[in-house]
Amino acid sequence: MILVVLCCLLLVIESKTTSYMKIDLNGLTRTRDFDHSSFRNTGWCPPGNKSEIEEYAMSESSWQNHAFIRASQGIDLVRIHDLLYLITNSNEYEKLDRVLDMIVKDHDLRIGFELMGNPDLERFDSFRNETQILEWKSMVSDLASHLVQRYGLDTVRTWRFESWNEPDHVCNLKDRLAANITCDLKSWLSYFYDACLEGLRSVDSRLVFGGPGTGGDTLNSKFLVEMLRHENISDINFIQWHKKGVLPVVDKVSNTEFDVNVTDVVLKNSMGRVYDIGNEEADPSGDWAAVYVVLFFVCLSAWKSNDTSNSSFQNTDTTGDRMRRIPLP
């Protein structure tokens, strides 16, 4: 990728000794291509009111955000929470189609499709119900078939399907998922393998699926280990977790240390199998909710390259949910 740094002609860096370094950047001269292929994913989270997801996703601001993302020539996948809310009556896809068409057809981006949300509040309220697990599998199968028919098998094979976001936070006997679905570790495994994985595989064996998508409690909860020890673990394609960046890192566990510890757990429980693994919400800049207006200017690529070079750990092509922090004015 060619860095065109028209708005960043002067960079001032403050050191610990309060001395200053002046660096002049000439963005008009091409020296070499910059390969930042490790920074290939972004994502966004819909608003809390799930009835507003389509309006939010189809807004002019959202369209423009995706245009900026695609123009980066590096990011090519958008990971999205709660897409299943865009399905009505379990198998009506008009709202979902409009949102995905905007991302896939208008901007030629791949989808990180989290199988998260509730497509039928009257049908799904508990993953501890075996009948509902079978119905969820059927729903996933129908969804995958629809996506393949609409976008083509070759395209959907490049997407990444994922399990529910951060089950370690709310999938227990005390809490309910935001979609008003009860679950625990045992039923989550049924959701993960028997419903999501089998539903996708019933359509095509090469659709990409992984998880567990656990959050800050990844090392303390049992979701990752039990997923790795499951008899069907060899059928998943990648392993990912979430540990958002922290600033400053003093007196806090850094992403590097956390991710190395999680990697050790994976290695110890993977039975010698090889997987793509990584922290999917590394957010190396820290403070994930901050807004960066720099994304609206031509120095976007330079800012991203700096952000990526300072990331603590990226073992797959994931970097975090960037779009949830860049709303347009």
pLDDT per position as a tens digit, 41-50? 888 888 877 8
Q: Taking the model in full, what pTM does it have?
A: 0.78
| 4-8, 201-205, 263-267: least confident range | 4-8
**Residue 16 included in any domain:** no
Q: Of all helices (H) and strands (E), which one includes residue 79?
A: strand 77-80
Beta bridge partners of 92: 88
pLDDT recorded at residue 250: 65
Q: Is a pLDDT exceeding 80 seen at residue 134? A: yes
pLDDT recorded at residue 21: 62
Give me the half-sphere count of Cα atoms (radius 13 Å) on the Cβ side of residue 250: 1
pLDDT confidence bin for 19, thresholds 50/70/90: low
Q: Is a pLDDT exceeding 80 seen at residue 217? A: yes
Max mean pLDDT among 8-12, 74-78, 323-327 falls in 74-78
Question: What average pLDDT score do residues 177-181 get?
Answer: 84
What CATH number should be reported for the domain holding residue 140? 3.20.20.80
pLDDT recorded at residue 220: 93
Give the integer Cα–Cα distance in Å for 315 and 329. 34
In this predicted model, what pLDDT tens digit does every residue of 98-117 receive, in sequence order? 999 999 999 999 999 999 99
pLDDT recorded at residue 318: 33
pLDDT confidence bin for 282, thresholds 50/70/90: confident
pLDDT recorded at residue 160: 96
Strands 77-80 and 41-44: parallel
Domain that holds residue 217: 39-325
pLDDT recorded at residue 309: 33
**Residue 30 included in any domain:** no
User: How many other CB atoms are there within 10 angstroms of residue 260's CB atom?
Assistant: 12
Q: Is a pLDDT exceeding 80 seen at residue 92? A: yes
More confident site: 158 or 74 = 158
Chain center to CA of 256? 19
pLDDT recorded at residue 75: 82
pLDDT confidence bin for 189, thresholds 50/70/90: very high
High-pLDDT (> 90) share of the chain, %: 46
At residue 196, the 3 state secondary structure works out as helix
The encoded tokens of residue 257 equal 């240390």
**Residue 301 included in any domain:** yes
**Residue 11 included in any domain:** no
**Residue 165 included in any domain:** yes
**Residue 282 included in any domain:** yes
| 172-181, 185-194, 204-213, 288-297: least confident range | 288-297
**Residue 259 included in any domain:** yes
Query: How many distinct structural domains can be found in the chain?
Result: 1
pLDDT confidence bin for 178, thresholds 50/70/90: confident
Q: Is a pLDDT exceeding 90 seen at residue 313? A: no
Give the integer Cα–Cα distance in Å for 68 and 52. 23
Q: Is a pLDDT exceeding 70 seen at residue 17? A: no
pLDDT recorded at residue 301: 47
Phi first, then psi, for residue 255 (nearest 5°) are: -60, -40
Give the integer Cα–Cα distance in Å for 259 and 316. 12
**Residue 194 included in any domain:** yes
